[in-house]
Chain A
Amino acid sequence: MEGFKNFLATRGGIIFVGLVIGVLAPVLQNLGNPPNMGICVACMERDIAGSLGLHRAAVVQYMRPEILGFVLGAFLSALAFKEYRPRGGSAPFIRFILGVFAMIGALVFLGCPWRTLLRLAGGDGNAIFGLLGLIFGIWVGTRFLKAGYSLGRTQTTPSKAAGLAFPLLMLGFLILLFIDPQPEGEGRGMLLFYSLKGPGAQHAPLFISLVVGLLIGVLAQRSRFCTMGAFRDLLLFKQGHLFSGVAAFFIAALITNLILGQFHPGFEKQPIAHTMQLWNFLGMTLAGLAFTLAGGCPGRQLFMSGEGDADAAVFASGMIVGAGIAHNFGLASSPAGIGPNGAVATIIGLIVCVIIGLTMRRR
């Protein structure tokens, strides 16, 4: 077991993890997940918000098993490798706000960093602007880090049980999904909301999504796979360790898409994407900055919450609430373009993140 642990933390290990995720994501699309959305942490958390009725956008309502698997897989991995360590208390409400705005930025672009790369690997040229925005947002974040930005220290919680809360919430959602499936042709079970059409109605079989989610949860917890950290470490330290995993993820997704006939290059009529490039750029600038200030991409936040990190769980909760806000108040984009209030929300988000970056300081 130690050998496995050590291998995944090496350069070869993180490349292996990137390759595995890069193959699995397009395969999930082939099995039913929405196009270029085999895995999108932001979109999938948005669908979870919809399934809980936190927003009522009828086309994006599904309790995505992949997300539940990410947290539960990371939790089981942390337990197995003795890395489960309940902790929290590092500016939790600031992290919640960062989570809200990270989601708003991601939904203006229509994807998190994972989907940015999957969209590119599917031939969606609009994602180039999203990727440039993401890198710019991360670069701005690194300026704050260099100037002493910090959200302060976490504390180990007195009770080991404290770190169970978020994994147990995910387990509860999973049980709910099993006992409250979508009735044939209806948009609501006993409790959960479902989509009859649109991305929320497109999903791989539950069991497969769950197993893939659990597997990625374990692999990413061991390897510390982080799509934001990949670019941050390159910009900040000129270290390519995490980047090599993300590069492997992109290359594997590209090759898998080519094999499965899922590569369709172009800008117009790309699936679940719009061509308003300024907002593709600025949406991901906001998301990239928020992820950097919070110390991890949305996937990494889920994996850390599985390790017992309550601050990461607060950030993830902020993202789910942010999805509710984004869809309820016309901030989220659609293939037609940005929402009526998407531009102003992006600007407010950037201002808030800059204020957080300037005021939260170690010295």
Chain B
Amino acid sequence: MAEIVDARGLSCPEPVLLTLETIKKLGKGEIEILIDTDTSRENVSRAAQSMGWQIVEVQQEEAWYKVKISKD
């Protein structure tokens, strides 16, 4: 079961901060990050990749994105 980070509506850089906190807490596994701007989608993806995590899927919902990242 993937950990969920709901960063919708939060200002820069909070989505990245929350993502990195969860990455540090888990060390590996799967995280689903919910964000609602393209800027946050880019920032979160960049931050996850810099920590060695992979972008598994970016899914566009009604008014937000779900970015799924993972690390084995």
Contact = CB atoms under 8 A, between A and B. Distances in A.
Contact of B14 (A150, A226, A233, A311): A150
Interface in A229-254: 229, 232-233, 236-237, 239, 241
Contacts of B13: 145, 229, 232-233, 236-237, 295
Given A85-B37, A236-B13, A295-B11, A156 B47 contact: no
Contacts of A362: 14
B16 A237 contact: yes
B9 A154 contact: yes
B50 A90 contact: no
B68 to A, nearest CB: 20
B12 A83 contact: no
A137 to B, nearest CB: 16
A229 B12 contact: yes
A145 B42 CA distance: 20
Nearest to B38: A83
Q: What is the interface of chain B mostly: helix, strand, loop, or mixed?
A: helix
A93 to B, nearest CB: 15
Nearest to B8: A153
Nearest to B63: A156
Nearest to B6: A153
Contacts of B20: 237
B9 A150 contact: no
B46 interface: yes
Nearest to A149: B14
Interface string B1-44: 00000001111111011001000000000000000111100110
A224 interface: yes
A9 interface: yes
A9 B43 CA distance: 10
Nearest to B20: A237
A87 interface: yes
Interface centre among B8, B9, B20, B42 (most CB of A within 10 A): B9
Given A145-B17, A156-B63, A239-B50, A151 B11 contact: yes
Nearest to A154: B9
A311 B38 CA distance: 17
Interface in B44-65: 46-47, 50, 63
Given A156-B63, A232-B13, A236-B13, A241 B36 contact: no
Contacts of A153: 8-10
A87 B10 CA distance: 11
A296 interface: yes
Given A9-B42, A224-B42, A145 B50 contact: no
Given A83-B38, A156-B36, A295-B13, 14 more contacts: A85-B37, A87-B36, A90-B11, A146-B17, A150-B14, A155-B9, A156-B63, A233-B13, A236-B17, A237-B16, A237-B47, A239-B46, A294-B11, A295-B12
Interface of B: 8-14, 16-17, 20, 36-39, 42-43, 46-47, 50, 63
25 contacts: A83-B37, A85-B37, A85-B63, A90-B11, A146-B17, A150-B11, A151-B11, A152-B9, A153-B9, A153-B10, A156-B63, A224-B39, A224-B43, A226-B12, A229-B12, A229-B13, A232-B13, A237-B16, A237-B20, A237-B50, A239-B46, A239-B47, A239-B50, A296-B12, A311-B11
